[in-house]
């Protein structure tokens, strides 16, 4: 997949999460840009409301939009409440 800029990656990620029916909240510099003067960022901070039973659905939604990750590691991290994936060169 070609590298995306952080706005394109955020749009793609949010679209996939919404289509899968998850509630979410953007945080970090992406959210700050909505409310105040934007600052440079190289990542997307997003909180997704997904209990353990729905983690496989979340993983499928992330894969569908093109996220790159090791599924076993992501599921383990998600159960602890934190996971990281890559989408078009953005974490």
Indicate the pLDDT class of residue 21, thresholds 50, 70 and 90. Answer: very high
**Residues 70/20, Cβ–Cβ less than 8 Å:** no
Does the pLDDT of residue 2 top 70, yes or no? no
| 55-88 pLDDT per residue, tens | 999 999 999 999 998 888 888 888 888 888 888 8
Residue with the bigger pLDDT between 68 and 34: it is 68
Alpha helices in 1-91 (DSSP H): 6-19, 28-35, 55-64, 71-80
- The pLDDT assigned to 51 comes to 87
- The pLDDT assigned to 1 comes to 47
């Amino acid at each position: 997949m070609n590298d995306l800029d952080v706005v394109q990656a955020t749009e793609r990620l949010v679209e996939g999460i919404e289509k899968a029916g998850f509630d979410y909240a953007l945080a970090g510099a992406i959210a700050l840009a909505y409310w105040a003067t934007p600052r440079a960022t190289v990542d997307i901070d997003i909180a997704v409301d997904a209990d353990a039973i729905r983690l496989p659905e979340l993983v499928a939604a992330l894969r569908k939009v093109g996220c790159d990750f090791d599924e076993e590691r992501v599921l383990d991290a998600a159960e602890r409440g934190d996971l990281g994936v890559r989408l078009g060169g953005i974490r």
